[in-house]
Structure 1
C-alpha cells in the first residue's frame, strides 16, 4: 500500500473529532482490499481499484462522511448514497459500522468495480459538412482575397459563414449577407469578429 501524502495532509488539517474517523476508514480499506490505491478526487480522499473509484471520504466542520461510489448497488440496498454518505453524519468512530461489516461492504464494492464495465462516453454523430450556397460560391470566385481568407479558416469558422448565408429565408437577405461576408472576409474577419475581443 502506498500512502498518498495529500491524504495525510488532508487528515492532519481536519478537526480532532474527524481524524480518527478518516484514519479508521483508511485502515479498513487497506485491510479489506490491500491492492486499493489512494487518490485525491474533487479535493477529497478517495480509494480506487484499477482506476475505478470505490470510496470517497470527507470531513466538514461538524461531521465526516463516507460514500461508496456505487453505494446503491452494495449491501442490502437500504444504504443509499446521499449528501451525507451511506452512514449519515459521522461524528465519531462509533458511528461507523463494525470492522467486519465495513470490510464486507468494501470487498463488495471492490468486486463490483472489478466486474463493472467501463463507462462509455456517448459518441455524437459528426456534423455534416456544411454546404456552400451557389450564390456565395459565385461571389467568392469574384473575390479571390475573400476566398483565400475563408479557405484559411478552420472548419468551424467556415461553417459560421456557410450556415449564416444558408439560413437566409429571402433572396434579398441572402444577397445582403453575401455582400457583408465578402466585405468581412476581404478584411480577414471571421463571422463573429465583433465578439472576439470581448
Structure 2
C-alpha cells in the first residue's frame, strides 16, 4: 500500500472542508484495491490499477470531487457527470455515496481495467451548417467554378471558408480573404489545402 507523499501534501494544502473527503476516499480506494498506484496527474491525485487510470480526486475552493476514469461504464451511461466528479460537487462527507456503493463502484472500475476495457469515445455533437454570408454568396454567383466547388463541399469544408472570412477583424482583411477563397475554390481547393497530404 505505497502512498505518494505528494498526495499527503495535496491533502494538507486543501481547504479544511475538503481534507476529510479526500482522506476518506483515499482510504476506500486502498481498501478496495490494495495494490493501487498513487500519483499526481494534471496536478491532482490519481489512482491507477492494472496499467490504467482507475479514478482521481481533487479539491477546489468551494468543493471537492472524486471521479472514475471510465465514469459511464462504472456509474452508468445515464448518470450525469459534474465536471470531473462522478458524484457531483462535494462539500462534506455526507455528499459521498454510502461506502458500500463507493466500494462496489471501485471494484467494478478495477475489473474493467483488468479486462483491458477502454473508455468509450465521446461523440461530439455535429455542428449546424454555417450560414453563407452575403458577400461570399455574391462572389460565388460571379464565379461558376468556385460556386460548383463550394456546393460540392461537405458542411465542414464550407464552414472552414465561412469562418475564415467572417473572423476577419478589418474590412480590407475580409476582402482579401474573400478574393483568396474564391480563387482557391475556383481551383477546387479546400481552405487548408496546403496542409493536406499530397
Could you tell me the TM-score, scaled by structure 1's length? 0.57
Q: 1:77 offset after TM fit, Å?
A: 3.3
SS at the partner of 1:55?
strand
Deviation track 1:55-103 (CA, whole Å, cap 9, x = no partner) reads 0100000100111000101134333434151111100011001111100
Q: Is the 8 A contact 2:65 2:87 kept in 1?
A: yes
Corresponding residue for 1:32?
Answer: 32
Q: Is the 8 A contact 2:36 2:47 kept in 1?
A: yes
Q: Is the 8 A contact 2:75 2:86 kept in 1?
A: no
Corresponding residue for 2:49?
Answer: 49
- Structure 1 residues not aligned, in runs of 5+: 120-198
* Greater Rg by CA: 1
Q: 1:116 offset after TM fit, Å?
A: 1.9
- Structure 2 residues not aligned, in runs of 5+: 120-198
**Aligned pairs, how many?**
119
Q: Is the 8 A contact 1:71 1:80 kept in 2?
A: no
Structure 1's consecutive aligned runs of 4 or more residues displaced over 6 angstroms after TM superposition are: none
Corresponding residue for 1:100?
Answer: 100
Q: CA RMSD in A?
A: 1.6
Could you tell me the TM-score, scaled by structure 2's length? 0.57
Alignment partners' CA distance in 2, 1:113 and 1:80 = 22
Q: 1:118 offset after TM fit, Å?
A: 6.7
1:40–1:110: structure 2 CA closer, same or farther, 3 Å change rule?
same
Corresponding residue for 1:20?
Answer: 20
Q: 1:12 offset after TM fit, Å?
A: 0.2
